[in-house]
Amino acid sequence: QGALYREWAVTELRSDNTRIYSRTSSTAVFDVIRQLDLSTIQPINYLVDEYWSGNYHNIERCNTVIRDHMVVEDENLRAEYLAEAKFIRAYHYFNLVMLFGGVFLVPEPFPAQQARYMQRSTPNAIYDLIEGDLRGIVEGGTLPESRANAELGRVTMAAAKTMLAKVYMTRYTIGSAEYAKAKTLLEDVIISVGNPQSVADLTPFAQIFDITKEMSKEIIFAVRYKAGNLGIGSPFGNEFAPANSGAHVIGGSGRSYNYPSTSIIDAFNAEPGDIRKDISLAERYYNSDSGTWVDDDETTQCRYVKKYLSPVETVNDGESDWPVIRVADVLLLYAEVVNELQGPTAQAVNYVDMI
């Protein structure tokens, strides 16, 4: 969760999908978010630092598990823990190398004195570690194909194969033998999730973000959250709800940190009746005290991301999970790799149309 907390700020906020909205605020947090929004990022931007630190804290924990996993007596469980730690480490390094290029390669716990003199590694060295970890998991077969009940949310073979396919498609030249390996991996995943062939085989979009239907067959890997003042609740409902909206959208009001842009709204509106729009975002909210709808104007910001909203009794303590790998992701990756290797086949077009 720590690494994910600021991921939206270093990814989607920097795209043309969302922005920071505040015409009047001069608070420190709005300033650092605005830097990311406008690509005027300063070296002391603490959101970048929090994202970086969150990733490396998790890498440190993974390295400790990898170093000490032999203390687990059960051989099968030991192999499973090792694979989970390597997957999570590879997942974090993949995000880091995508955002920063060559970063610090830390394959094992280092003493502070040694870390002080480390230098950044090349992107290829980072990719070597990522690819090696994920290949070892896939070839070793030490993870289950799926999870159930209390195990839901733990890493599966489908997640490892999808991540490895993404690495192949990101790292290697289109048409190369390494790039083509992604196709077989994604075919395996598609079969393992039920081999969907039409939209009827997919989880309805509205259910994907429904807190009563979390970890449905659509979700291959997600960062999980749990409300109830346990210290593991989701903050994104409050982060993304409209600022100064009181309890009309979510308890404790919102902050408008990830405000849907006009361009993303126009993209949804280009396809009349697109059911994803009203599930993903809202352009106004209802004030139950005044009995009126609040719309955007020169002083009020009210657009907001809806996907991560859930009722909260305590601020930043929502229930909504954050999907990382979905079946839709796999189908679109597969359509891409087929299109690049074979051209726009009927199968590739069908997967795009399904989504």
Reference 300, options 225, 235, 246, 220; nearest CA is 246
Say yes or no to pLDDT of 243 above 60.
yes
Question: Which residue type occupies 282?
Answer: A
pLDDT value at residue 218: 97
**Distances 95 to 11, 211, 330 between C-alpha atoms, Å:** 10, 26, 18
Q: What is the 3-state secondary structure (H, E, C) of 119-183?
A: CCCCHHHHHHHHHHHHHHHHHHCCCCCCCCHHHCCCCCHHHHHHHHHHHHHHHCCCCCHHHHHHH
For the stretch 63-83, pLDDT in tens is 999 999 999 999 999 999 999
pLDDT band at 193 (very low <50, low <70, confident <90, very high): very high
Q: Mean pLDDT across the stretch 116-145?
A: 96
Q: Which two tokens stand for residue 213?
A: 């239907």
Q: Which two tokens stand for residue 188?
A: 């395996």
Instruction: Give me the torsion for CA of 180, 185, 188, 193, rounded to 10°.
Output: -120
Cβ atoms of 79 and 31 within 8 Å: the answer is: no
pLDDT band at 23 (very low <50, low <70, confident <90, very high): low
Say yes or no to pLDDT of 234 above 70.
yes
pLDDT band at 161 (very low <50, low <70, confident <90, very high): very high
pLDDT value at residue 298: 63
Say yes or no to pLDDT of 29 above 90.
no
pLDDT value at residue 25: 62
Q: Mean pLDDT across the stretch 298-323?
A: 92
pLDDT value at residue 337: 98
Q: Which two tokens stand for residue 258?
A: 């990830």
Q: Mean pLDDT across the stretch 100-116?
A: 92
Q: Mean pLDDT across the stretch 220-249?
A: 95
Instruction: Give me the torsion for CA of 78, 79, 80, 86, rounded to 10°.
Output: 110
Mean pLDDT, the chain, integer: 94
Say yes or no to pLDDT of 24 above 80.
no
- Residue 298 exposed, middle or buried by CB count within 10 Å (0-12, 13-18, 19+): exposed
Q: Mean pLDDT across the stretch 42-48?
A: 92
Burial 105-129, CB ≥16 within 10 A → b, else e: bbeeeeeeeeeeeeeebeeeebbeb
- Sorted by sequence, the CB contacts under 8 Å of residue 211 that are 6+ apart come out as 310, 319, 320, 321
